[in-house]
Structure formats: C-alpha cells, structure tokens
C-alpha cells in the first residue's frame, strides 16, 4: 500500500473515531439532562399531589366544622330563640354564651332557681355531643366586688365552679368538663356603659377543639417525646 494511502486511511479512521466519540458524549449528556428533567417533573408531580391532598383535607375539616356549628345551632335553637344563650365563634372556638345576669343574682356566685334550670337544660344538650369536652369560663365586668380579698377573679372562679358542679350533678361526666376564671381580663365589649358591663358578666362554655389533626402535630408529638 502506498505510504500516502496508508496515512489517509489512518487519518480517516482517527477522524471517524473522534466524530463517533463526540456524538456519544453528546447523546450521554442529553440522556443525563433528560433524566434530571424527568426527576424534576416527578418531584413537582409528587409535590402537587401532596398539595392537593392537603387542600382536600383542609376543605373536609372546614366542612366538618361548619356542620358542627350548624348542628350546635340546631341543638340549642329553642334556648337561642328564648334568649337564654348565644352560640359564638371566639378565638376559633365554638362557645355557648350565657349571661350571668340570667344565671346569678347581682354580685352572687350562687345560681338562681331559673339559672340552675337553664344550666341543667344546657347540660342535657351538651352531654349528647359525643366525644366533646367542655371548659366553663367565668367572666365579670370591671366593677370591684366591694369585698376585701374577694376580687373579680374569685367571683368569676366561684361562678364557673358552681356551674361545673351543677352540670356534673345533671349528668355531665367529670372527665369531659373543666372550669377557669377569666375575671375582668377578657371583656366582650368595653366597660363604658351599664349595657356593656351587663354583656361582660357572662359564663362561656367552650367546646374544646381537637387539635390532634392539625398540620405538624405528629412531628410536634415526636419532638415533645
């Protein structure tokens, strides 16, 4: 084979190999890029699926709370219509609000006969709400009691405890109920008129919310342990 021909063949095959290697590298790069893009898309799909599931869960919980509120309104409809109580959402909680002026004589922590009857009626209805727990909160206006060593904290506490004991006697299991004194610390309206002070003298029976299903609660449980 002539020398020039041999050189030409060597150059041809060397160039062919270079072209082949370059094409292989290009294909390999395209494959890796495609693989990364697929992983990104799968990650986005998984994130979107989780977001949709979370939105669905939130929507279901919202609908459940609305059903519970409507159900509570219907349960207490007769007492609401007669002006004995109100159902409100306070700080994200469902609350049964009863005026202390209806339940107690002025300045007293002892339930009147009509107040006892009202609490018994409320207890019967609340006890029928399966799986629910309740906290009785006593609230007063800012008028001093006039009794040395006996402030609005003590008055609110005594009223809340007397309501609690009456509810227990009426059939409410002790494990489902508790009491707290708020004194004059959480007025519903400013204490600037007799009407407002009357509104602030109240008993609130809070339906204790179940927080176990809140987002992140499982992680918090693990952390606390």
pLDDT digits (tens, 9 = 90+) for 28-82: 677 677 777 777 777 777 777 777 787 787 788 778 778 888 888 888 898 999 8
Encode pLDDT of 169-188 as tens digits: 999 999 999 999 999 999 99
| Predicted pLDDT of residue 16 | 54
Mean pLDDT along residues 71-99? 90
Q: For the chain, which residues make up each domain, given as ranges?
A: 14-64, 76-207
- Angle among Cα 20, 25, 27 to the nearest 5 degrees reads 95
Q: What kind of fold does domain 76-207 have according to CATH?
A: 60s Ribosomal Protein L30; Chain: A; (3.30.1330)
| Predicted pLDDT of residue 4 | 52
């Amino acid at each position: 084979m002539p020398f020039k021909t041999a050189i030409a063949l060597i150059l041809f095959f060397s160039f062919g190999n270079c072209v082949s290697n370059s094409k292989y590298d290009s294909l390999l790069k395209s494959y890796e890029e495609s693989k990364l893009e697929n992983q990104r898309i799968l990650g986005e799909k998984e994130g979107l699926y989780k977001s949709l599931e979370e939105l669905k869960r939130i929507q279901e919980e919202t609908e459940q709370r609305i059903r519970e509120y409507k159900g509570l309104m219907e349960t207490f409809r007769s007492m609401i219509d007669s002006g004995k109580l109100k159902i409100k959402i306070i700080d994200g909680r469902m609350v049964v609000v009863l005026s202390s002026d209806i339940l107690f004589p002025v300045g007293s922590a002892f339930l009147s006969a009509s107040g006892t009857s009202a609490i018994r009626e409320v207890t019967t209805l609340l006890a029928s709400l399966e799986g629910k727990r309740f906290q009785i909160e006593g609230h007063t206006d800012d008028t001093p009691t006039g009794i040395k060593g006996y402030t609005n904290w003590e008055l609110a506490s005594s009223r809340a405890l007397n309501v609690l004991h009456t509810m227990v006697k009426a059939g409410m299991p002790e494990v489902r109920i508790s009491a707290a004194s708020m004194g004059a610390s959480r007025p519903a309206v400013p204490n600037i008129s007799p009407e407002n002070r009357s509104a602030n003298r109240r008993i609130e029976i809070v339906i204790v919310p179940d927080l176990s299903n809140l987002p992140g609660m499982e992680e918090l449980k693990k952390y606390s342990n």
